[in-house]
Structure formats: structure tokens, C-alpha cells
Structure 1
């Protein structure tokens, strides 16, 4: 149950895609003066070293944030063209955790969110992580922020925690649901948690990440979430991003392990600015990270 460690995958293409969407959502939601609660159901360790034992061993960041950073010019340009605002915003935020030209630190969603929250209007960040090692690391990393009551860390099941947190006092919240899907039941727990949460707090923004892999549960998840959004009559946005298959070098076996090549984000009650932001950013992201057969992106939206 506790074998998954996100540190192996920190800064990979799925993180880049997921956090690009997260930052774009937050920029819109934080434009209002009323406090925002952000609830992260599966927070991980919060902060990762790309040259550490885990990320350094997997090397996945080399096809993600490291590759993106290397392709972007000093003035946030790509092949002489300005970066899409959402992509430039995300990259600048991650850059802020590193020394100039040195990409050794990757912030997970807890640190990305906290960096954007406002103290003057009392925004809150609620973090949940059940993995014993990651929960301990998360608590230690958050303690260094000296964020006081703005950030809370709980070692508990994030799916269950939502029931006690919704609706928030401010009636404004962004919920990030990002399990490892290492356990097959996670595919059923995600729509169940969103259904229950929407019944408790219908106007919240909900973002669920999932891996695009060849198993029925992964294929069915976005369909179930689309059905759910239709049943509760809420707008939705579904985006996917695939870097494609890694070209096989001469002499390598044809069955060389590819690892995860694609992922998706399903958002219920998306900000109206999210779709145009992704329409501008994802083609540029694909231009840098796309690597072979099957690469591409998609954006669908519908509902009320």
C-alpha cells in the first residue's frame, strides 16, 4: 500500500502539466478579495531534490521540467516567440525555488500553492498525506515555511478528510485530488469523493489528475467524471497531455520500458480563463516535451 513515492517522478512531464493547470486556476481564483481554501488530498512530501536519490535515479525530470527550462530563453521565449502567459507563469514560479541556471529543486503542489496564497486575506492550505515517510517529510518541509496557521498538515486519508472540510467558511475552495492510483480502488474513490464533495459544496472548483495508461479503470475515469458533472449540472474541462513514445535507439529491444507517457486533468467548475490559457500553453509545452509517436494534447469543455 505504501510503496509509491512521488519523489521518483518529481518534475516529470505529468508534474509539469498538472502544475501548469493548477497555477492557471489559482491565478484566476486568487483575483477575488475573499479568502480561498486550497485542499490537497494527496500532498506527497511537498518539496523534492532533482539530484537526490529518488528523482536522480529515475531521471524523469530530464524529460520534464529540466527539458522545458533548457529550451526556454532568458526572456521566456521559445524559438523567438514569447511563452504563453500560463506557461511563463508556471516556469517563473518553479524558477524561484532554484538558483539562476540551476534546476535542483522541484516544488510539489503544496509549495506551489503556498507560494501564491495571500496572507492579508487569510487564504488557507489544507494538506493531507497518508504515506508515513512522505507525511513526515511534508511536515518538516512545511515547518521551514514559517507559514503559521495558513498551512496545516494532516497524516490522514485525503478522501475522507474532504467530508469535514467542505464547505469552507469562506465558501470558496479549490480541491486538488491527486492519488497515486497505485491502488486500483483509487479509480473508484475519485468520482465517489467528488460526488460527495459536490453535494456538500456545489460551487467549489475540483481538479482531479489521473494517468493515461492501458487499463480499463483509467480509461473509464474521465467518462465517469463527465457523467457526474452532467448529473449535477456543473461545467467541466478535461485536458490531456502526452509526450508520446520514446524513440528506441539502434540495438535496444523493441519492448524497452516507456514509463508513463500521458496524463489527464479533469476539472469541475473550472475558471472561465482556464480553457484559453491551456489552448495557448499546451501547444508550446508539446513543442518542447513531445518526443515521438502518440504525442499530443486535447482540451474539451462542456456543461452548464
Structure 2
């Protein structure tokens, strides 16, 4: 996909991914005990929507640009509220110029006792990430290979938390690595929540990924997918999905209630739709 996130920041896929991230963090914060967030492919943290990269594609206009300032249905407004709070914090004069990536969302929504480990291998991007998180409490920037970060940073001492895996999908075999990483992460941190992102670009690769994860022995895997037009068509990315391992209680119901309205708002052609279901429930499927 040749996916450099600055070109795609704030697009439709970011809206769903970051809204879910914000809701998970809020739910983790309900209990008093500290939690840790580990973001394996963190990016630069803060994006300038008027910059060269975002301006060249304009993808944000079909994503966050359709949300901010819109008259949202109540169920969707409630669902998006934690994420939109962070977006508003970055744009104190109103309008929409700056967009928060996942590490900055985590930094703003975690509590004083919680910790963020944001990992970014690209040296220049890591410097930008360090600047974006400057002044944020209990935030550490790492520069490890994203796939190795799981072994280096898990398990956390807090025993509660969230792993975010959002790879660039620039190389062959990343779906296979993603499935392996989910198993390794669960082995090290079975009590944690996992949120992994993937593109709906190659239908066969996605089916094989789902089958591998379903056969891995992991349980409680919620699948959330959205496409803003019919997938498999030429042009920019049309759909994306997330697998959530150990999602907070009733999060599936919250997503299912709000997602149709979000898809209708972000639709960019015929065939837009969404899916919310359990890839694997409480019990792993038998061989």
C-alpha cells in the first residue's frame, strides 16, 4: 500500500479507529488501577491537515472533515465524544487544522497514573513523535522494530492495558505477521485488550488472516469493518477493519448502535457498509 500516514491522517479509517481507541481508553479508566498503552507503529502523533502531505491527498475531508461541526445523531455524537474532545483540544481556536494520531489520543485520555509507550522506528518520525508528546506525563517514545516491540514491551507491570498494532502494510506477509503478533501478545499479556488494524484491499488476504486468527486458540475477538464504497475498486482505500481482543463489556453493542450512522455520513460511493460481529466468541472453535 506504500502507507505513510501523514498522507492519510484524518481519513475515514482514522475516524473509526481513533473513535474506538478513545472509547476503549475511557472504559479502561473506569477502574482505579493504572493501565499501560503500547502503540507499536505510532507515527508522528500530531498531523497538520494544511501541510503538504495531507493537502496533497485531501483524504481528511472525507473523514474527520465530515464530522467536525456536523449535526450528528445523538447515538453517534455520544459514541464519538471522547475522540472529538481530543480533536477540539488540538484546535483551540476552532476549525480543523491539527489532527491527533493514536499516541496523542492515548496521552490525552489516559490518567495521571497510566503510562504510554509509543514506538516508532522511522528516525525522523520518532523525532516528531517526541515533540508531539513533550510535556505529556508518563509517556515514553521508543524506536524499535514495530513487530519486535511486543516482545520488548509486554507484559507490563500494571497487568491492565491496551496494545495498538497499526502496521503500514508496505511489505509482503504483514497479515501473517499480524496474526502471529496477536498470538504472541496474548501469550505475554492475556489480560490486556488488543486493537489491530488492517486494510480491506485484498479480500483473499483478509479471509486468510481471519481464518488464521480464528484457528489460533484466541477467544473474545470482536471484528469491526467499514467500507465507504464497494471494496475491490480502483483508487484509494475503500475499507478498513479492526480486530479487538478482550474488548470492554458491551462495547460491541455500542459500536453496532453507532456504526450505521457513521457509515452513512462517511459514504463515498455505492456499496458502503459495515460489519460488527464476533470472529471468535468466549470459546475457541474446535478443530
Give yes or no for TM over 0.5: yes
Cα deviation, residue 131, structure 1: 1.7
Distance 1:45 1:132 in 2: 10
Aligned residue in 2 for 1:147: 136
For 1:152-163, list aligned pairs within 5 A. 152-163=140-151
Distance 1:257 1:57 in 2: 19
For residue 97 of structure 2, the aligned residue among 86, 100, 104 is 104
Inter-CA distance 147–92: structure 2 relative to 1 (3 Å threshold): closer
Report SS of the residue matched to 1:213: coil
Cα deviation, residue 300, structure 1: 0.5
- Aligned Cα root-mean-square deviation (Å): 2.1
CA contact (8 A) 1:244 1:262 kept: yes
CA contact (8 A) 2:164 2:196 kept: yes
Q: Does 1:270 align with 2:247?
A: yes
CA contact (8 A) 2:12 2:63 kept: yes
CA contact (8 A) 2:75 2:257 kept: no
Q: Deviations over 1:219-274 (max 9, x none)?
A: 3223322332xx14x2110000111059xxxxxxxxx9520010000011111131
Aligned residue in 2 for 1:218: 206
Normalization by structure 2: what TM-score?
Answer: 0.91
Aligned residue in 2 for 1:238: 223
Distance 1:139 1:89 in 2: 23
Cα deviation, residue 92, structure 1: 2.9
Q: Does 1:303 align with 2:281?
A: yes
CA contact (8 A) 1:50 1:106 kept: yes
Inter-CA distance 135–4: structure 2 relative to 1 (3 Å threshold): farther
Report SS of the residue matched to 1:187: helix
Equivalent residues, number: 281
Inter-CA distance 204–241: structure 2 relative to 1 (3 Å threshold): same
Farther-moved stretch of structure 1 (134-143 vs 262-271)? 134-143
Distance 1:100 1:142 in 2: 21
- Runs (4+) of structure 1 moved beyond 3 Å? 81-84
Aligned residue in 1 for 2:285: none
In structure 1, list runs of 5 or more residues that go unmatched. Answer: 247-255
Report SS of the residue matched to 1:83: helix
Aligned residue in 2 for 1:129: 120
Distance 2:184 2:147 in 1: 10
Distance 1:289 1:281 in 2: 13
Aligned residue in 2 for 1:22: 21
Farther-moved stretch of structure 1 (86-95 vs 163-172)? 86-95
Cα deviation, residue 67, structure 1: 1.3
Cα deviation, residue 156, structure 1: 1.0
Aligned residue in 2 for 1:174: 162
CA contact (8 A) 1:129 1:155 kept: yes
Report SS of the residue matched to 2:215: helix
Cα deviation, residue 100, structure 1: 4.6
Cα deviation, residue 82, structure 1: 5.6
Bigger-Rg structure (1/2): 1
CA contact (8 A) 2:8 2:60 kept: yes
Distance 1:132 1:186 in 2: 21
CA contact (8 A) 1:245 1:258 kept: no
For residue 189 of structure 1, the aligned residue among 177, 193, 206 is 177
